[in-house]
Amino acid sequence: MPLFKIAVSLFVTMFISAFITPFVRRLAFVLGAVDKPNARRVNKKPMPTMGGLAIFLGFTFSTFVMLRPQFDTHMLFSLFGAEAIVIITGMIDDIKELSPKQKMFGLFIASLVVYFLAGVRMTNINIGGWHWELGWLSLPITIIWILGITNAVNLIDGLDGLATGVSIIALVTMGIIGFFFLSVAQVGTPIMIFTLAAALVGFLPHNFHPAKIFLGDTGSLFIGFMLSVLSLQGLKNVTFITLIIPVIVMGVPITDTFFAIVRRRLAHVPISQADKHHLHHRLMQMGLSHRQTVLVIYGIALIFSMIALLYPLSSTWGNIMLTIGVLFALELFVELIGLLGPNRTPMLFAIRKLVNMMSRSDNDHFKQNTK
């Protein structure tokens, strides 16, 4: 398919998503999919959720109608079945509020559909000359990847437009890297990635602060699920590059989720227990407004994306040094904003101690020279 037709299809996808959203908003009120204000919410009035349905409909129309020749029929229908399970799970949760276990069960079933019917899975690892066929471990590792990324996106959906914008940045980056790495025969995957990004762009004006509709679990679960599955397309044969790039691209949700788990473990509370110490909460507690917080996190997501684009251009040692630098800077940032909780700053403590030692050494040296 010519690039012009693909570009037109993406534009139409944006339009469909934007056009359908007001109707989904009305449907949310009718079905009772409404997010009411409480101690953990930032909205001050009842807000319709289930916005992900508009994204799903726009994305599905484009992949099945306008861009149909770009995709393998079996894979497309199998993936649609998994998407439908995720959307239904999210809609039920937005209307009746499912327990974490019930939501996890729905995502687990969808993951099995992706693994067995769509054939999207990790099969082997080849890093630094070390080759390992995953065998039976392929199934649990694939499911853990899907569940982990899906729930990471779900956790950052705490402010107007936050998860939507961060996901757009991640998807566009993945699409660019997909075109760079994949052969012409595999071009369907980056096209699907860009199509999902286009559906999100159409939805974003309705979702950005002040939002008219929330993603809801319908949206955050669907977006997270698709991010995990589409990134898996490049992870069938795992190398250092194919493993690290999607992790870096999705650095914001992964970082927030990882440190939330660590924070709750250190506090001896259940991992599933909600708190107000996520990345967006901490930035707002530091004095940023709602809109400023979202824009700052967009900026952080863009930094992660730019770093991810450096990996294909670097040597092996360059990639290793880049990864070490990212981890060091990330830990420093996390401690500076208190994402781990109060008084949990081991790196800052070590840096201060080192600076004090160097300062004392300089003072002693100065005194000896002035005697």
- Identify the pLDDT of residue 124: 83
Tens digit of each residue's pLDDT, the chain (371 residues) = 678 888 999 999 999 999 999 999 999 999 999 987 665 556 567 899 999 999 999 999 999 998 988 888 999 999 999 999 999 999 999 999 898 899 999 999 999 999 999 988 888 877 766 778 888 899 999 999 999 999 999 988 889 999 999 999 999 999 988 887 655 446 788 899 999 999 999 999 999 988 999 999 999 999 999 999 998 886 666 677 778 888 899 999 999 988 888 888 887 887 777 777 888 888 998 889 999 999 999 999 999 999 999 988 888 888 889 999 999 999 999 888 888 877 788 888 888 888 888 777 656 665 666 65
Q: Return the beta strands (E) in the chain as ranges.
A: 34-35, 47-48, 124-127, 130-133, 237-238
Residue 285 is assigned to a structural domain of this protein: no
| The pairing of beta strand 124-127 with beta strand 237-238 | parallel
Q: Please tell me the total count of domains within the chain.
A: 1
Helix/strand/coil (H/E/C) assignment for every residue in 83-143? HHHHHHHHHHHHHHCCCHHHHHHHHHHHHHHHHHHHCCCCCEEEECCEEEECHHHHHHHHH
Task: Give dist(CA 231, CA 190) in Å, integer.
Answer: 10
Residue 166 is assigned to a structural domain of this protein: yes
Residue 192 is assigned to a structural domain of this protein: yes
Residue 341 is assigned to a structural domain of this protein: no
Contact 266, 30 (CB under 8 A): no
- Identify the pLDDT of residue 236: 61
Question: Which structural domain, as residue segments, surrounds residue 102?
Answer: 3-238
- Identify the pLDDT of residue 184: 44
Contact 254, 247 (CB under 8 A): yes
Element housing 256 (H / E):
helix 251-266
Residue 315 is assigned to a structural domain of this protein: no
- Identify the pLDDT of residue 46: 84
Residue 205 is assigned to a structural domain of this protein: yes
CA-based nearest residue to 301, from 252, 243, 259? 252
Residue 224 is assigned to a structural domain of this protein: yes
Tell me the H-state helices in 157-215. 162-181, 188-207
Length in residues, the chain: 371
Residue 77 is assigned to a structural domain of this protein: yes
